[in-house]
Amino acid sequence: MKVVGKQVPHDSAIGHVTGKALFVDDLAFTQNELIVEFIASPVAHGKIKSFNSVELAQLDGIAGVFTFADIPGHNLYGPVIQDERFLAEEIVEYVGQPIAVIAGESRKAIRHAKKKLRLEIEKLTPVFTIDEALAAKQFIGVPRVFKQGDFEKAWSTAEHTLAGTFVCGGQEQFYLESQAAIAWPGEHGEIHVHSSSQNPTEIQEVVAEALGLGFHEVVCVCKRMGGAFGGKETQAVIPAVMAALVATKTKRPARIAYTKDDDMRSTGKRHPYKIHYKTAFTTEGKLTGLNLEIYSNGGAGADLSTAILERTLFHADNAYFIPNLFFKGTICKTNFPPNTAFRGFGGPQGMANIENVMQEIALVLKKDALEIRRLNCYDHADRNLTPYGQVVRNHLLPEILDQLAETSEYRRRLQEVEQFNRQSTTHLRGLALTPMKFGISFTTKFLNQGNALVNVYKDGTVQVSTGGTEMGQGLNTKIRQLVADEFAISYDDVRIMITSTEKNNNTPPTAASAGTDLNGMAALNACRKIRKNLTEFASSYLLPPDSGLDPSPENIIFENGTIYDDRSKSRFPENKITFRELVKLAFMERISLGERGFYGTPEIDFNRETEKGEPFFYYTTGASVSEVLIDRFTGQLKLERTDLLMDIGETINPGIDKGQIIGGFIQGVGWVTNEDLRYSDKGELLSYSPTTYKIPNIQDLPEIFNVDTIENPQHKINVRRSKAVGEPPLMLCLSVWIAVKHALSCVRNDAIPRLNLPATAEEILRRITELDDDSKDAAGNSSVDESEVSLVSLPILSAEKK
């Protein structure tokens, strides 16, 4: 009957494919319900001069137009730094920023009203790029610095040095269900909100603060989300406040559901980064020092940018030991929507940069990049201290690299790829193997807690409520498996209830890949309280008076839906009872069958004054090897083969975990290849729909795709010895981007190719064109031996041998 470790189908799988799984905007309209939309800023930066809100509110079918002046509580909010407004007051700071909320009887009435809009805004000078923000000295928060050893000494005494700049773009979360919320007013002024949110507690608190209510007067629930990927961790609050404001003002239910276009225009995305790096290394290829100046584009408000930058610093080492380092991170303020959480939470940007550095070291030394990566990889006994002072324990990073190199036949294929590039005049191939180490825990200590409510009913069935939210990742399915096994009952006898702040208070967001870790352990702790009560009762009930044995709870066994005393199993085999029978008897004896469970992640602490400590409970690790084919004339990229290998501990649900590994990787492939956010010179998002923004489709899957896991007997912590698989697989995508860089590097043996991320066809072709021009001297003669390399040439970054 045990189900943990088995491939149980996702509990909403049938509902998802048949359309029976209800999302927020699928819920039936209630009587007198209003439609809610918002009026957005058409400019990136400006001063509001006039707005005909009163006139619009008088139009037929319009129930109200509300501005910041109508918010009864606070108009200022922010998860870390309170610097963002629900509704703009005097100044607008990005295209798409909400200025007013408009409520109507129908969408037709709202569309008609918007045509009557007269909004006068005096334009101010906007700032869009990191370089512009640096020049204007516009920053968010304060710079963060990680130091270890003596970088300056390592640099001055290095056998080799290398310097350059890494640039990467943002990424749209592109959840299929846009931001949505419904608010119902209560009879005593309270508000009930159903939100598509990863963070119901934050919705509860922020709605209460905006409306001037106590937290106890707001309930937020979330049945499921149609995707989130971090984009609904904080940014679901604005639509929730809009709906709640209308419900409060009109005393009518109110519903808001962004269109995909409005969602993409108005919400934050993965942070673009610019990183200047200087690295020192030996002739062997061992990294001796690394200096990073890290700049992120935070947008117009802080949102989670400070925490995201922190995780970038935590992951700027990826899987490599760096004895001497100096990392400085700065957030730039610009006139875009406040950028926010996205799967990986700043880790991918830092890890992409160090992989770029490793590839370039290999090019300078003319060595296989895997040799450089393996040489610098974290070890077990020593060379295992991170830049923030945490020892990397119980990992298999070297073993993963070695096993994947062997199973993927990396070395043989590398020779074939480079031979192909020496001969082909129309195409390039690239091959790269990159490791991944991702820390699991919220890096803010108080967020590492969860609670659960478990109710056992008299028929032996169980309801479980946690603060975790289901966004398709299978959290509810895993918790059902854990609870079923804890009571040794059928999986079908367990149900996960709608997430509600009424049942689970003060919960963290479902994020940081910690949903199962926190909520699963909290649920088990609640189950164990109930099981302890049942065990003590059963120890007396199951023994015959003439058994000669004393009651002993330690000897009570829960197995396959039955409970027995293992000491009497052979002598009194009839003395056993079903779980359902035991529950009925326990109820008659007034034994508690409902308990709360709590869990706080142990052994984590980080001191932000010293920038040292242990912010992570453990690490999820892995590696990937990818092979790409590039058309020299169009830049078109094809991913031909990928092999993934991960250490995810002992899996709770192999099917769901494999789905997360594949899904995370493919989403990452989108980030490093085709997902290119384009803006006009006025700050308007041009790629705001599926027609202009290309997420991966079935044709972007590699033709050969191998996914495997590795056993790690050293990992003995966490719920059922599992490991998080939500975010870590995304970073496996870096092998694809590095494979493109490897392909470009094969065209000349005297240059290091420059490549921005994403490596779109346009970006690849741009580099090919630049380098083709660069390979000719003023007379038009080739400066390289074209019999050995292709006609592609690339600018050389600074590489110096001392």
Q: Which residues are catalytic?
A: 727
For 547, the token pair is 């058994």
Burial of 316 (0-12, 13-18, 19+ CB in 10 A): buried
**Looking up tokens 């130091």, which residue turns up?**
147
For 156, the token pair is 């001055």
Burial of 589 (0-12, 13-18, 19+ CB in 10 A): exposed
CA distances (Å), 281 to each of 278, 362, 371, 377, 379, in order? Answer: 10, 11, 14, 14, 18
Q: What is the C-alpha separation between 149 and 147, in angstroms, rounded?
A: 7
Beta carbons within 8 Å of 654's beta carbon, 6+ residues apart: 5, 6, 7
Q: What is the C-alpha separation between 638 and 429, in angstroms, rounded?
A: 10
Beta carbons within 8 Å of 163's beta carbon, 6+ residues apart: 276, 277, 278, 279, 797, 798
- Count of CB atoms within 10 A of residue 568's CB? 19
Structure letter (DSSP) for residue 26: G
Q: What is the C-alpha separation between 238 and 183, in angstroms, rounded?
A: 13
Residue type (1 letter), 213: L
3-class SS at 236? coil
Q: Are 685 and 692 in contact (CB under 8 A)?
A: no
3-class SS at 790? coil
For 741, the token pair is 């860089």
Q: Are 87 and 100 in contact (CB under 8 A)?
A: yes
3-class SS at 191? strand
For 136, the token pair is 């204007």
Q: Which of 385, 391, 315 is nearest to 603 (CA)?
A: 391
- Residue 471 backbone dihedrals phi, psi, to 5 degrees: -120, 20
Angle, in degrees to the nearest 10, between helices 579-588 and 521-541: 80
Q: What is the C-alpha separation between 355 and 349, in angstroms, rounded?
A: 10
CA distances (Å), 602 to each of 169, 386, 611, in order? Answer: 36, 19, 19
- Vertex 573 angle, CA 567 and 578, to 5°: 95
Q: Which of 722, 623, 668 is nearest to 344 (CA)?
A: 668
Q: What is the C-alpha separation between 788 and 778, in angstroms, rounded?
A: 22
- Vertex 63 angle, CA 57 and 66, to 5°: 60
Structure letter (DSSP) for residue 387: T
Q: Are 463 and 454 in contact (CB under 8 A)?
A: yes
